[in-house]
Amino acid sequence: MKRFIRYLYEYEQGRRLRNVGFVKVEQGDEDCVIHIHGKGLHMKGEKRLQLYLFYEEGDGCVGIWQGTVDNVNPAINYQLYYTKEDTGVPENFRRINGVILENESGHKYAVVWDDMPVNVNNMKVWSPQEVRQAPAEGEDAGNEQEELRAEAVQAEEAQAKREEVQAEQEEELRAEQIEEVQAEETQAEEASMEEPQEQTVGIDPVQEELQAEEAMLQEEMPQEEMPQEEMPASRFQCKKIQRNELAGLPRCEWRLSNNNFLLHGYYNYHHLAMIDDGERLRLGVPGIYHPQEAKAAAAFGFPEFIRRDDLDIELAEDEDNGQEQFGYWCRYVKRPATPGSR
């Protein structure tokens, strides 16, 4: 059984725009389960997405339709279960390289197992006719109709089986989420009895692998609150850096290079920022301001947001978002040691 996590991206005119979520994949030899989690999808009032598995072919890809996801609002939390029988022909099972979601107007979102660019706009939908060989000369045409009826029956049976398994797994997932919420409430009550503190609002469901890091970062948050009021741009000196330059900070800050929130912003916008107000040094992770994103940023140790317009920083096209809410989620870090200091 292979287990891995990949990001879900929005596409426009064949170009990957932005990260809108992630998927968790549990891939076996005969079947596969995909958990899809996304938010902030630009649906323009639409509520339905067509779901395809896909494999690459030539300069495009072939999509194998798996059904419709309803009530996208514009967040999606969906679980797909499929087997070899659900991939058109069994040999397609090993060729699957990701998932494509498409709304009624043709706007696409995709996740790719190998994280390589895929021309999702040039997708053709798989159909049995593409693999059916032409009947031999003189063969009764009724055989083809019989094959079509048999395929239709098999497709209906496979769909019924898939829906049954999905219903069971969704019920298990709901039970797990209820247990997690109850455990979090118990921990919060115990913590409040020991020492009064501001309640931390949980982030949306994410990988279980991130929970340990989140708890550690919350414990290490500074007791003093970072200033939330906007500061004049003249107070900031800003420098764009790459992730490997974090090695220039004191050793106690090196662990930030593996902070999952920092990695998420870095891979989306290809840079970080060092922001100096003359008194203290901040590390900035690029992103968009949103109340839900603020909760996630604070949980991973980046509670302050500074707008890009308040900073003197030059950005390339792939480093900027262009939205008014674009800026940097920040936390204080220790300054690098000066030469000769001990």
> Does 15 map to a domain?
yes
Both 159 and 279 in a single domain?
no
Note down the domain range covering 302. Answer: 231-333
> Vertex 182, ends 176 and 186: CA angle to 5°?
145
Q: Output phi, psi for 129, to 5 deg.
A: -60, -25
- The pLDDT-based confidence of 111 (bands split at 50, 70, 90) is very high
> Does 261 map to a domain?
yes
Both 53 and 152 in a single domain?
yes
> Does 206 map to a domain?
no
pLDDT tens digits for range 192-223: 455 444 433 444 444 454 555 555 545 544 43
Query: Number of structural domains, the chain?
Result: 2
> Does 8 map to a domain?
yes
Contact 83, 133 (CB under 8 A): no
> Does 165 map to a domain?
yes
pLDDT tens digits for range 13-67: 778 888 889 999 999 999 999 999 998 787 777 888 999 999 998 888 999 999 9
Q: What's the pLDDT at 110?
A: 93
Q: Which residues, 6 or more positions from 198, have their beta carbon under 8 angstroms from its beta carbon?
A: none
Both 36 and 161 in a single domain?
yes
What is the CATH number for 112? 2.60.40
Both 158 and 251 in a single domain?
no
d(CA 33, CA 90): 17
Both 50 and 159 in a single domain?
yes
Q: Where are the beta strands (DSSP E) in 258-307?
A: 272-276, 281-288, 304-307
> Does 238 map to a domain?
yes
> Does 213 map to a domain?
no
> Vertex 18, ends 86 and 120: CA angle to 5°?
40
> Does 199 map to a domain?
no
Both 119 and 9 in a single domain?
yes
Q: Which residues, 6 or more positions from 175, have their beta carbon under 8 angstroms from its beta carbon?
A: none
